[in-house]
Structure 1
Amino acid sequence: MNDEAKLPKILVADDSRMVRASIAKHIRGQFDVREESDGQAAWEALLVDPAINLVLTDIGMPRLDGYGLLERIRGSRLGRVRTLPVVILSGDEDEKARERALSLGANGFITKGGGGVELLATLNSMVRLAQTQNELEESRAALSRQSPVDPATGLATEAYLQHRAQQEISRARRTQTDIVALVVELDELAPLLARYGDHVVQLIGRKLSKMLGSRIRAEDTLTQRSASQFALLAPGTDLVAGCAFALRIKQRLENLVMTYREERIRVSVSIGLASAAADRLGSVGDLLETATRRAQAGVAAGGNKVIADRGEVTQGMLERRASPLLSVDAALRHLRLGQQEEVTTQLPELLMTLVPLLELLESRLHCGLPIPQLKQIENRTGGRGDDLDVTQTHI
């Protein structure tokens, strides 16, 4: 049993049960065989079975033919799948079929009905190739973990994002500034996979990657955590600016239509935000975990949502929240100029902004500030703000 478990594993995809049985008979004892009757089933097997070392496939099959299977394998984001040797079962000497298979990345051909010697020799050669490619892929993975850039996406690696986030959190504490994390999650992932397959989801991920990457600042850090999820670190940005950016991304996707094989595809995302200052988070893990949890809550609530510390974010709510935050500096300028009347009209908004600071002062200095009474005033005013347009806030 243990010896059999160590045998190289070959996936045989052919809609003929007789062909599959004949191949299994020839290679039994030297290879472990997994059989599938069509290309779609073979593709699904590849995604869930990491033990497969080689694919032996027919061309003419239902649901997904050999060409389609080969194309998906070579386009996979999974390194172990993308580099698998693929051998084509050829029923005749059609040169055009061979040329097409080679252009899609086939590694070799075996004629149906050929002898067992040819079959075993080809498979042994290809398995050795697979082992070499696996070792190369592992080396590349080790290098990418040490590099700040993921060679597959061109974005920052997850490890670099974590490192950078810890640096920026420390800097934010020293400079009394904020840092915001955004997690962007693709909505309705399961229906997209079921309807279009993993290949199209990867194409959508690449589109999102380019769109997000073209809209961030040089000091921001963006990484792709999976085919359907991105994380963005924005130092020196407050929660209002982060929410404004998230709303613009959401709106941009609402107007975006992608085309695949003449079919129009619309997608949406849910975006979760967490702020080191507003959420009082002091670690990278807490910051990213909070943003991830909020993004997933947006997906669960129907998608196409931006979720922050107070729940779903809308443009109107953002304007009300932005107004008092931006009025403190203006109020101080008015007071320096002796314009107290201008400040008096903004007192409710200023109070909503200053209550968290006053709470902190009271907790540290115990100077008898009437925090409960101030909160009652804040609740009665409802945080009225002016008509500030935050849609031009850049991140």
Structure 2
Amino acid sequence: MTRVLVVDDALVMRRSVEKMLRSDYEVVLADDGEAGWDVLNRDDRIKMLITDIQMPRLDGYGLICRVRADNNARIRDLPIITITGAEDDETKARAYACGSTDFITKPFNQKLLQARVDAYLRLKQAGLTQANAATAADEVDPVTRLGGLGHFIKAGQQQFARAQQAKQDLAAAALDIDEYDHHQRQHGKAAGDALLAWFSGMLTTAAGKNATLARVGEAEFAMIIPALDRAPALELCEQLRMRAAAEPFKHGGASLPISVSIGLVTLNEDAPETFDKLLALVEQRLSQARSEGGDRVSVTILSDIMPEPEEVVLTGVDETPRDDAAALPLAEVEELAAE
């Protein structure tokens, strides 16, 4: 089973997240950022990090910064989901700026957490066998009528290879509906599904027949268009962003203001060596757009403007050695607690 690290100083929260994920993932627990950092360096099977913000010794911000500045790509490129009870924009912006892939506000439900973990692990690992890839490629999302992640990866890999061989450009983007969770909580699942279908139609019309489109997360979409360079790709993304903002979504008498965050990568401009690196860069730029408040297109990430991220100074870090109890699987934590 894929191994996920959960870092939170509250035992109740660690146990709750473990319970939500244990049917599909092996969950490892740590009770603060330092313990989590120890696990990441010792356990090369960790494929995702889920972390709280407010913790003793090393908080979530410091842990995320360490991960993103690490020289080891296994650690540096981990998908990171931040979970916190804070709902203010400053907390979200700081988490995204540090390099968080996504942000979930407590309390959250099992379905939401599982959807986020599934989506980001698939993007990270592209861990599909040939048989699974063929099956996934044939699947159609019933809400948006778009293909899913398997479809996007299979088609994207082919288009990436063709573009490299023909020395042509290629544009890829990740698009996320801002505050989707809030809209769904306020107006219900039916409204949330209708919003996804509405945006999917807008995206399909704007992108054109040559685009490969997919729904890859709860409210995240992916797009890849061959033979499209930076300037027209940026113009297309800006038009999508402005159109979404200009046309409030209406459902059941409610009119919802909508904005979209977009991360954009083009092959010739950014020169990713592989399709996996292209996907990782797209996700990082989407995170940057979110960190800047959403409703924008990002073609940069922090490392683009901070050439030496390893020099980030982490304050308030206690380097005192500790034992491994905080990083034990849940069963062992409970045994220790019972002693």
Coarse TM-score class (shorter-chain normalised): 0.3 to 0.5
Bigger Rg over Cα = 1
Q: TM-score, normalised by structure 1?
A: 0.41
Query: Which of structures 1 and 2 has the larger relative contact order (alpha carbons within 8 angstroms, sep 6+)?
Result: 2
